């Protein structure tokens, strides 16, 4: 039995689906039973529970050979406190249920204990799991998500240029979340890690914001689309304007400042093992451009 937390999310769903396609027994864990139903129809055992409830998670992890741990996102008053409550729950449940292998969804930059916004919570999760006796745990540290570009649709439509926080010519790794889920599924099935280890995932190649603007422009019929680096003083209220909570907006700005300072740069060299298949071009064509056009139609 392999347990997938966050099973209705961006990485959990593809992980669960990949495992089911291989004939693995999967317990899909999420907060909403209705959202778990499509996975149940594909053969998963659905388990609805609060990830911050250690007793519920202990039950969810019972008889599991391996567990994939994802800290869910949500509109909460205090995002960092929520992270800590969930990761405390996960660590307690893993210690009680004793799965042999655990894979966590962490992030590049999680080696730092401070000044990285929400990534601090992932650093803390890694430390908590590392302290569970006799646990084999693999911490996945992917690059920034291509899906984060979807937050730029509304400001792009308002401003006529692609906004971002980084200098336009700095190339960075980007990854599609479905590739993270697929990789997690492979390692969960293999159980080929021991002790505590880290694996970065770097996407297909490094891409600059200037290049992303060009790719998006070509896909949405605006080949001259430019990029605008937004000052941090403007960025926090802009994030709040698109619906992000005040505390989450502040954490995001701290994370973006950390990225510009190099704190989120990869530590592991790019290899075939940490290079994933989905290109920024295919993501824009298959996900971003349709979402942009749907907003236009709406």
- Domain positions in the chain: 2-144+175-201
Average pLDDT over residues 201-224: 97
C-alpha distances (whole Å) from 115 to each of 40, 111, 120, 296 are 40, 11, 7, 37
CA 38 from centroid of its chain's CA atoms = 21
Q: Is the pLDDT confidence value at 136 over 90?
A: yes
Q: Is the pLDDT confidence value at 249 over 60?
A: yes
Helices then strands, counting H and E runs in the chain, come out as 12, 12
Question: pLDDT tens, 1-39?
Answer: 999 999 999 999 999 999 999 999 999 999 999 999 999
- At residue 298 the predicted structure's pLDDT band, cuts being 50, 70 and 90, is low
Average pLDDT, the chain: 95
Helix (H, G, I), strand (E, B) or coil at 45: strand
Listed in order, strand segments (DSSP E) in 90-164 are 101-105, 136-142, 144-145, 162-164
Joined tokens for residue 72? 């869910």
What global pTM score does this model have? Answer: 0.96
pLDDT of 297 reads 57
CATH 3.90.1150.10 fits 2-144+175-201, yes or no: no
Q: Is the pLDDT confidence value at 48 over 80?
A: yes
Per mean pLDDT, which range of 14-23, 34-43, 76-85, 198-207 is the poorest? 76-85
């Amino acid at each position: 039995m392999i347990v997938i937390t966050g099973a209705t999310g961006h990485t959990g769903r593809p992980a669960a689906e990949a495992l089911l396609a291989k004939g693995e027994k999967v317990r899909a864990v999420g907060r909403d039973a209705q959202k778990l139903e499509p996975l149940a129809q594909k053969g998963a055992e659905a388990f609805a529970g609060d990830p911050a409830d250690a007793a519920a998670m202990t039950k969810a992890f019972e008889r599991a050979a391996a567990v994939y741990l994802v800290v869910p996102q949500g509109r909460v008053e205090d995002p960092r406190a929520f992270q800590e409550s969930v990761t405390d729950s996960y660590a307690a449940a893993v210690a009680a249920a004793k799965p042999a292998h655990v894979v966590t969804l962490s992030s590049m930059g999680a080696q730092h204990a401070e000044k990285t916004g929400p990534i601090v919570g992932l650093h803390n999760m890694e430390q908590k799991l590392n302290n569970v006796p006799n646990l084999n745990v693999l911490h996945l540290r992917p690059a920034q998500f291509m899906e984060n570009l979807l937050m730029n649709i509304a400001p792009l439509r308002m401003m006529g240029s692609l906004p971002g926080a980084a200098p336009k010519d700095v190339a960075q790794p980007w990854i599609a979340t479905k590739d993270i889920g697929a990789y997690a599924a492979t390692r969960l099935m293999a159980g080929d890690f021991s002790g505590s280890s880290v694996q970065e995932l770097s996407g297909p190649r490094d891409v600059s914001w200037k290049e992303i603007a060009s790719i998006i422009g070509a896909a949405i019929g605006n080949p001259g689309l430019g990029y605008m680096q937004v000052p941090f003083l403007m960025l926090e209220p802009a994030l709040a304007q698109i619906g992000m909570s005040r505390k989450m907006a502040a954490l995001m700005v701290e994370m973006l400042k950390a990225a510009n300072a190099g704190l989120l740069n990869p530590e592991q060299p790019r290899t075939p093992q940490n290079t994933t298949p989905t290109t920024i071009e295919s993501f824009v064509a298959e996900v971003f451009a349709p979402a942009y056009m749907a907003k236009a139609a709406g």
